[in-house]
Every structure is written in C-alpha cells, then in structure tokens.
Structure 1
Amino acid sequence: MSCLRLTLLGPFALATAAGAPIRIDTRKARALLAVLAMANSRPLARERLASLLWSRGSTRQSLASLSQALYSLRRALGEAAPALVVSAETVALAMDRVSVDALELEAAASEGGAAGWRRNLALYAGPFLDDLSIDTEDGYREWRQQERARLEAIATGAGTALMNAWEHAPDEADPALVDRLLQIDPYNEPATRVKMRCLALEGRSAAAIEALEAMTARLEEDLAVAPSEASLGLAEEIRSGSLAPRAGAVARGVPSGRSATGPLVAIAVTCVLLLSVLLLRDPLPRPDSIRLLVRPFHADSGMTEDLATGFADDLATELVRRASLHVLSRESGRLVPVGGEARTAASHVLEGRVRAVDEGWTINLWITELSTGREVWAERFEGSAGDPRLLRDEIVAELGERIGIALRPAADLPATTLTDAAMPAYLRALARLHSGTPEGNAEAMAALEELAQAHPAAPEPAAALALAYERIAFGADAHARAAGLHWREGYLLLKWQLARTEADHPGLLAARARLALRRLDHAEAEILARQALASESAHVAALEVLAESLALTGDTGEARRLATRAVLLSPSAPAGGYTAIALATFAEGDLAAAADAVAMALDGTASPSPRLLALAAAIRGLGPDAPRARAAFADLVAASESRPFGAWRLGDITYTNPRAATWSRPTGTDAAQLIRFADPAVDALLRSGLARAAGEAASTAPARSTPLEGGEIEELLMNARIVGRPSWLARQSWSQIRTASGHLEQRGPLGPLPAAREGRSRIVDSRLCDRWTWRDSDLESCQLVVRTGLPGTLAMIGEIGVFPFVAPD
C-alpha cells in the first residue's frame, strides 16, 4: 500500500497517505524526487543524477551535493524514508510505497474508453512540475520540458477523444472537463464545439457564438488559420435556431423577430454596454498596490525574439525609473512559468506582441489582473523602427495617464548617446545578457563591446558590459570559459570599464557598490547602493548590496526588510536577497533561520558566491552534524579549485601554470576573511564555525584585529619592502617595494597588483590604494591592511581577495 502521495502535475506537492503535507526544503531536492519518481522504480546512476541537477561544479562537488540532497530527502520523508533505495552506484524510488499522479495519467491513457479519458483529463491538474523550474541546469530543463510536452500530449489526446464522443452526446459532457482541456490546448476545436453545444442547449446562443469568435481570433492571430468547416457549420445551426434549447431552458440569444419587449431589451442592452464602457474607463488600481510582472514580449513576423525581449527589458526599466512602479526583475518575467505568476506575489502581468511592418513596428500590449484573470488594459502602438525609444516613451506616457501617476521627466534620467540605428543591436544584446547562460553572456559581451567602442559616453552599454565582465570575474567558471578569458581578465575589464565611464547610471553604481563590498568597504558600498536606488528604486542588485552591508554592520532589521524586498522583486533569482537575510539572521543569533535562508540562496543559484558558501559552512560547523559541515566546506574548496585554467597573459606578465600560481586549499581562517561582521562576538562565532567545518580546532582561529589606520599604514609600508606569504590565492612568492614618494614595484608571478609590475601607492583615509596602468587607462584598487593574528603577519584585503605578507622590519 502506498504511504506517500506525490503530485507532479501542476505545482509540486508531497503528502502522506493520510493527506498530511511533507515539506522538502530545497528546489533541487524536490526535483531529484521527481526525477526518481518518473523513472518508475528503475535505478538511476548517481553520476547521471549529479550531472542532471548539479552540472556546474566538479564531479566531486556534484556527487557531494547529490549526497546532501539525498540526506535531506531521508530526513523529510521520516518513516517513509525506506522508499528511497540507495546504493553506492545508483538511486531509485520504490513505487510500491509511492503513488504519482503523472504515472497514473499514463496508466489511464492506456485504458481507453470514455471512463479512461475522463480520468486522464481529471488527473491533469496543470503543466508538469509547474513551479519547479531550474533554468540554470540545462539537462534538467530539457528533461522537464520533454516530460511536460509528453504528458500534455497524453492529456490532450485523451481529452480530444472524449470531446469527439461528447459532441455526439452533449448531455453527457462535463463543462469543467471541457474548460480544463481548453486551458491545456486553447486551440482545441472539438472542445470549443462541445462548449458551444452545451451553451446552446442551455439557451445561451449568444455565448455560444462568442465562444467561437474567441477561438477564431486566437487561431487567426496566433496560427494564421481559420476555424474548421465543422465549427463554422455549428455556428450557423445555432444562429438559425436549428439547435433548440433543452426543455425548460431560457433562450438568451438575440431574438429573431419583433416583440413587445423588444424596446425594453434594447434599452437594457444599451445600459449594460454603457456601464461596461464606464467600468473599462476606470483606472487601474493605485500605483502603490500594483506589482507588475513583465513577460518577454512575443516576436511576430519580421521580428526576432531577442529584439522583442530586449524591448520588454528596456520598457520595464523605464517604468521603474519614470513611473516608480513596483516592477519585478527581468529574470522573474523570463523564468516564472506561465500559470505560476501568483507565486511571485505579482498583482498584474504585462504581456506584448511585437511585429515589424514595412519600416515600422506594431506593438500590442495588454495587462491582466491575476486575482480575477481579467484583462484590465490593452492598447496597440505603432511607430518607426528607427528609434524604439520613442515607442517606449509613448507606452510609458499612456500607462502613466491610465494609472493616474505623475511621471518623472525624461530629462531627469541619465542622458544617452546611443544613435537610433544602435538601439536594436543594444536591445538584442540586452536580451542575450539576461538569458542567464554563459554563452548568452559571451555573445552579449561581444555585441556590447562594439556598441561601447562606437558610443563611449553612452551609459547603457557600459552598465550592461560591466555586468557581463563581473560575471566572468566573480561568477561561475563557465562564464570565463565561454568568453575565452581568465577570471582575472574579467576583473581587469570590469575595472577598466568603470574607470572610463563616469555616468551615475544605476547599473554602474551597483557594480561599484559590489566591488566596495568585496574589499569590505561597507560605508562606500552603502553610499553607492543608495545612489543607485535614488535613481532606480527597484534596482535589485543595489537592494542586495545595501542589505548585505547593513547586515554586516549591525542594522539587521533594515537589512532583512531590504533583502526581502529584493527577493520579492526577483523571486526567480533570489540568491543575493537570501544571502543578505542569512547574514542578518546569523548576526541576530538565529542559526535555524540563517540555515533556512542559506538553503534558499543555494537553491536559487548555479554559481553561489564564495561568501555564501563560507556562511553555509560556518552555520553547519556550529551544528551537531560534522559530516554535513565538512561537506559544506568541501563545496567552498571545490568552487575555489575550479577557478584557474589554461595559460594566460595579463599585461606584461605571462602565467604558464595559473593553477600552481593562483590556488591552494583554503583553511577555515582563509575562508573567514570573506565575511567580516562589525560585532566582535558575531565575528568570533563565524570564525569558530568555519574552523570546525574545516576540521580545525576552533581555538586555532586567531582573533580578528581591527584594520590599521592611515598613519600606521604609512609608517609600515611606505619606504619599505614586504614579502608575500603563500596563501589561498597566491602560492608562489611575491614581493612589493614602496618608496616614500609612493612609487610601487611588484615582483613575482601574482600579487595584489594585477597585470603590472609597477604602479603608484597612496593612502586614502584608512586604506592603501594602488594605481596601475592597463589598456592606456589608470586603474585603482583600495585595500584594508589588517593584522592577521599570526605573529609577524599582516594582510591586504582587496577586491580580488586576501594577500597575507610578512611585516617589514
């Protein structure tokens, strides 16, 4: 007898046989259970499962992640855990203990006959794993899409067979099942005809004709085809009165002849129409109550998907800047499945269709209210394809008037020097950048570099390029490989781009804020993030940086509020927001809440940041489960180990073996340098957890000292030579000499000064700032100088990491 009920059609759900829900914390653990269930008791190789759901890490890391997911599944299943059949090589789910709706749907289809077709259609509650997309995993995404299409085809086939039977016996039809099939397949004509017959038999001939007209519009607009002769013939039967209503049904069609009540009916109809017009003229809800999800626009004839999607991205940004609307992130519009919008807390969805006509564009837009499913606004816009911004501004103005809000004048926004001809290329690149794939990032980078070179003062391509370079520098290694660059080259390109573009564009400000956070300059990170939010109040990256900075400096309540807003704005890419929530709750001493937030953050990204992995290891290290703590620290090690590759050259320095030069296994003390809490007690707790996770005695973690002041830095480092110590980032020796006047020389293959052997140093406030030349531009990076707690050892903490060195005599 089954002890578990697993629902895969529609939203994922797991319950006991008695109906008690079972919670599985992480998205990938739920996906793992679904994959095992669809295998129908067949054992699956561990390597296959690991590559399907954890493809971005090394094999060792992927298998470790699989083991951790299996562990969490066993804990969630409790007494039903024996349903998981695990060996050293394979994993399976014992189907005698589990009932699965998707497998039952397949079985019902094989039964045949009206009873089987009914059961099949009743089982189809929605698209397969509707709320369980993991678009960062290509293998899983493809598997889910194939299963979804297969199961939908089974339901559609059974439903169509049932409709064909009901068309000859409409009295047996179940209206709910008819509507369900039309939800699955809106173009299903047999279902439409059954619906028409049912409505006509109820005396609702006008509604029956409206059903066909709606189907006709869908077929013509989406598929460019006309309804079948059978559907058109049925409509004629209904209009002519040949299809008489059932006995007792009240005819509600348009009367064919005159009667004494005719004028009254006409007056009533006129009143209803007038009332409808007045209702449709009512404004949308107040702007502060609207949470708008912007879907990627559909591309019609003469239009590419990238260009239509890029236009939607640009429009969403403009709505935030000028209308101050609460618009969810671009990633949410792209990744949230159709039908899953309500789970984003969105109130309305904006969709569109873009078509190229002669020398212009035609754009159809509509907004749907999610709570009612009612289309509350629709408009058609036409304009020249020469400058899509004119159409964008017209749409923003129309929406602003419709909603009843005052728009910020366009003059208040950062000026752009992109030409009309350059805008389509920029919009296509924007779509590729937000595709979420390393290949898309590399393609966008190449296109944006051409645009930035042609328009060096334009902030839009510069901000987009900064994001592409930042992913190469600090994102998953796949981004660097797809671009054919080393991660340090991505860092240098990022610095170079920021140095040559001075505009206060919110994307550029957010990139500078993230770099400030990396060098632990929380005050500067906060200033830059607030400047970005002043320009674009719903800028997710700026919200995440500000929340993380406040969490580390002790304002945990405000940090959680801002981070929660970031998650709500970007529910399909929530890792940054959940990381900030985890830091805030860790600082408050709530380790259980911090662990939950970390799990959500890890579940929401394919390339977790080192800071997130270090926090996860620290939390596990403070818990009772030593194996899980070691596995969490191993994830951090594996993520670091995968970074260096290939031979590369930066400036005049060639590295023939970057792995030997740039990586060694981090210790708990090394990992502790990634996060620095202002509260010494919280900081000590973090370091203790990391030491335990790394298998080190907690007492070996040296006390953290405060950064040196500017005078101390000058006295120690100016007119002195320092020698680097082997570290996590630099195994080979390096040294630096600074003169009293600030001249800097660096020797060795890799040190704090990237891509150069000479530079200039200065002290700004309490930071050591080094300047060097790259691509004919002066670049600068400022670092904290701290005592490490080890005798005679200090360290520089900068944007690319931590570099310990021996204190000069």
Structure 2
Amino acid sequence: MAVSRQPVVVRSSAPASTDRQNADPSFRGSPLGRRASDRIRPACYDRGGRQFPFWCGMAGPTLRLLGGFSLADDGGRALPLRGRKAQLLLAYVALTAPRPISRERLAALLWEDCEERRALHSLRQCLMELRHLGEQAGVDLIRTDRNDVSLALPPECVDGVMAERLAREGTPESLRAAAALCAGPLLPEAEACSDGVDDWLAGERARFARLAAGILARLTAWCEAEGDRDGVASTAEHWLALDPACEEAHRALMRLHARNGRRSDAVRQYRICADAVRRCLDAEPEEETVELLHGIRDRHPAEAETVAEQPAGLLPDLSRSSRPVLPDRPSLAVLPFGTLGGPSEGGGFADGVAADVLVRLSRLRSLFVIARGSSFRFRGAQIDPCTVGRALGVRYLASGAIRTDGRRLRLTVELVEAETGAVMWSDIYDRRLDGVFDLQDELATRIAAALDDEIEAAEMRRALTVPPSSLDGWSAYHRGLWHMYRFTRDDNETARGLFQQALRTDPLSARLYAGLSFTHFQDAFLHRTGQRGIEAEHAYRFAEQSVGLDERDPTSHLALGRALWLLGRQDDAVEELSLAVGFNPNFALGHYSLAFVQAQGGDARAALGAADVAQRLSPFDPLLFGMLGARALACLNLKEHAQAALWGDRAARRPNAHVHIQAIAAFSNALADRREEAGGYARRIRETAPSYRCDDFLAAFHTLTPSVVDLIRRVGPSIGLQS
C-alpha cells in the first residue's frame, strides 16, 4: 500500500510542469509543453444533443471557485465582487446548495469574533452587496427570507458542483469536461477569517483535491486503454500541475515516452518525479515507479496494455427507494465481476472470484459488507457508483472484469468511492489458466487483502480532512493510525491522544486498545523514554485489554504477540501472532510480525516465508520497510550476508524507515564487505541520532541469536557504531 498523501497543489496561474520545461527546452514545442488548462479544455460539452459551455452544464451566469474566485453574467462579463467576506459567503452558500442556511449560522461562521447583533448586521450588509451586484447584472445570485439564505443560481452554474456531477456520469466526454473544471485548489486566495471558516475551507479543499485526483486518474487510465497518447499527455500534465509529486501521473508519462521510443525522456521524467517527491514529501519514489524505470532501461518493454471497461452509464433510478444510512464502520459492496470475451465458462469463474472475495472480507470485523444476494443484483447493469452506493447504503464499491485469451487470464479490479465515483485503487492480475480452483483461491486472497488495506488507507485520509472538533470515535481512530505509522516521537504522542479521545466515545473498542498498545511498543522498541520495561508493560496491559474485549479480532492478537516479544516471551509471541493470521489469513501485518519475530531468534526460513506472504498481500504497505528489514535479519541468521545487504538497502530506502532499519542496512553491508555503503548508512544514523550505538540496536532486537550478536559487535566499530 502506498504511503497516504495529501495532494500538493500549485496555483492555477502557473504553467504546468515548470521543472519539466526547464529540464528539456525541446519540451516547450511539444503537446506536453503547453499549459494544462489549454490542452485539456474542450470547447463545449454535449449532453443529449444540446451544446453547453465546457465548464458549465447550461448557458447562463457562472461562478468559479476552483483555482480562484470569479463571477460572470450570462454574456461572460465579469461581475466585480471584491469583498472578501462576500466571496466566502457566496462560495459557502453555493457549495451547501440546495439546502438553505440560517442567518444565525452564517453570521456566527463569518463574524465569529463579533457579538451576535453586530454579526447579523454585517451579514445584512454583505447580502445587500450581493443583491445589488445581481440586480445590476440582471442575475439572481441569492435568495433570502427572514430566517434563511440559499442559492438562487442554478447549481449547475457553479464549477465545483458541475465537476462532481460530470465525474459521476463517468463518460470520457464528461470526465474531460470535469477535468477542465479542476483548475486548482478551492479558493486558493481565500484567507480564513475564523476557525469555522478555516475548518470548512480545509475540508472542502481536501474534498475537491480528492475529486480532481479521481477524475484525472480515471481519464488517464481511459486514454491509455484507448491508445490516445495526446490524451494521456494532456491529462497527466494537468494532474501534475495540481499535484507535482503524483507518481501515478509521472508513471503515465514515463510509459508514454517509452511507447513513443523516447527512453531518455522517460528517464528524465523519472528524475523530475524523484525531485518532486523529495521536495514535496521528503520521501523517495515508490517501488512501482523505480521498477518501471528499471523496466524501461533494461528490458525495452513493449507497450503495456491497460484493461478499461466501457464507461458506466446510469442504473434505473433507485433514488426514490429508502436509502440505508451509512454504518459507522467502512461499508463495502462487492459487485459481480464481468467478462470481456473468452470462453463461456469465464462467467462462472468471474462469479467465483467475486463471491470468494466477498466471503473473505465478510470475516473482517472492521468492515460492513453487503451480502451477495443484494450486491449481485446489479449484474450486467451499467453502473453509476453514486446510485448504487445510495441504494445499498455503502461508501465503497469493488468491481472487476475478466478477459481470457486461450490459456491466459487477465483480471482487472477497481475500488471506487461511491459518493464521488473516484477510483481509489485498481490493479491488474495476469495469470495462466492452470488449476482453476487454486487460481480462484489465490486471486480472491490477494484481492481481499488489497481491498482491506486500501479501504483502511482511504479511511485514514478521510479522517485527516475532518476538523479535530468534529472527530467521532472512528475518525479519531483512523487519524491516530495515520500518525502512528509515521514513526516519530511527536506523531506517536498525537496518535496516543487520538486513541484516548476515541475511547471516551467508544470505551469497548478492542482496536483502540490495540492502537494504544502499539504506541507503547514504539516507545519501547525505539528507546524514546528511557523506560523500556515500563513501556513494554504498558504495551502488554493494553493488548490484554484488547483481547479481552474481542478475542477473535486479529488486531488484538497482533498487539499481544508484539508485546509478548518485547517481554522476551518468544514462543508465546509466535503463538499469538499465529492466532492473528489464523483468524484472518489475509492479515498482512500479522504475517509481517511473524517474520519479524522469527527472523531474530526463531526459524529464519519460516521468517522468509512469512515475509513473502506479507509482501504478496500488501506490496505497498506503510510498514514495507519492516518487512524488508525482517528479510535482512533472517538472511543474517542464515549467514547469507550479500542477500541481507540487498534487503537492507531496499528497507532503508522506504518512506518512514526509522533508525533501526538504517542500522540493519549498515550492519548487513559491512558483513557483505560493502564498506562504503555501510559507512554511508552509519553517517546517516549519526546525523539523525548522534548517540546511537551497537548496544541500542541489540537492545531493540533483543532476541537475536548469539552468533549474529557477535558479528554485529565485531563490525560495528569498523563503521563508526561503537558498542
């Protein structure tokens, strides 16, 4: 699972991919060198035979909020609304439409520091300014009565509202029109005038950033599938104008250059990507990006195929049905997988995989999964995610399509956010059609694990957009997870506080106690407090409470297994961790923890096997550095020092790799006689943790075999890490 990220935005007035243009002067004359807004914008949008302006669903006045504030009348003439509060008021009313908003709420929001009477007076002045401007231009902007304010403009005249509607339609034309609307962040020039406005702006900016990313991801995939190379170029460059560190967009351009026979341009695009990721995120490119680079350099890859389904239209209108309320837990419907040609029995295989995925996910207590009898009713329908999501009362939809060709099978799977239609995750599985039942089992296992991880990541991102004062227990838990996996002292403290906050509203949540246990595990393992024994006892106590609340939750047994390892109870730790993966065989973190424990003082071969399973289940996990580090430790145990150095290098390059991971890389390289590389890691350790010594490493990995301990004590001083 890739590291969760908030999009990094640039002002819409800046040229797209300035770094790219500076790096390659010839780039300016190519289709990629033009401004993103000039390349992606269609002249008009056709709906039902009627032509409308590309950025609006109907002729009439227009209100732009994405990329900057602007207001125009029917003829396109700018309406000068200069007051900062008036702009915020109109934007708030427009994005809340069609619901009316009480005057008291608007006054309290925009004039938070004023007493009520003065705030209401200021609101009246603001409303008068809007009415006067509208009357001059012959445009109704707002509608008011004694109590409420609402939008008089048709919602389709607001760019943000129209972008959401077009995204839900999901056709190439609507996606292009929606992409043209995503010119930048919401109201980038707006300054918060109160805490309430600040919270609202932050939440709405994050929402529209997610919407833009989903639109551009779908449009890029569509263009790649159709072989529309100009479309890939324009869409990916537009995406990078909004998020310069978006690796998915960089990869699309790398593939495009490779298909056009321009390997040097593909390599140059990778360098631009790496620079942007380091500058914006203080991280290294994802493994998928690095592997694509190696493939382009080394193997002259043929043009990759992308399976893309025919765009979804609308299902029969289900909006009048009683709409189920979204449950507290993340909710998912697994829709029947379709077939794209191939033998007639392909439909049975597709049904089998989808049903097996549903069964595996239904075992997870963290998910609310719709039963097959309801989700499979949408077989063969053209699916609008928003409509299906409302009908089933779920936040996420999983769907797939199978294509067969002789003895080969290709399965494409997608996870979609029902509310926006944004694609949260997709993957392609290519397999030989040998041993159908084994293949069905393998695919279902991998897909279920990937969906579980991606939904968890999506919930973390969602929680980050909720103002702290509005966090419920579930959101506080997921925001805590995000901080916990950053592995810094401050983030760990923040995570602990969020878990404790969530416990006040949900005191019987086993997962919250498991989270608290892991925060103390971190402090013990990374020697943050100087009280390792006390932290280990806290980790054990909270893990026991977690198991006591839900003895069948794999996360609870994971927490207890790690705490037992801290206390030196190796065999008990392995037993608890085995229970965790027994309750959920797709639990990547459980398999990783088994690898971590076994790699040190247990069965090193079993550790490598567990690491294999963990990586196969979650190839982009936030703890991938730990999985790779466990491999390195297992190889040290097996006296395979060159292999240990290889895995140590890969672990140290991963985001959030802490000082112990850097030390694994240093010792492994030293034992493999790669002194220069080992010295580089040692220097990095001294820069971040000047007092770090061999003894700190050995205290953390306290169950290492005596032979490995002796080797580390021997090579440590030679690279500057004293005992």
Q: TM-score category by the smaller chain?
A: 0.3 to 0.5
Larger strand proportion of the pair: 1
Of structures 1 and 2, the one with the larger relative CO (CA 8 A, separation 6+) is 2
Larger Rg over CA atoms: 1
Larger helix proportion of the pair: 2
TM-score, length-scaled by structure 1: 0.36
TM-score, length-scaled by structure 2: 0.39
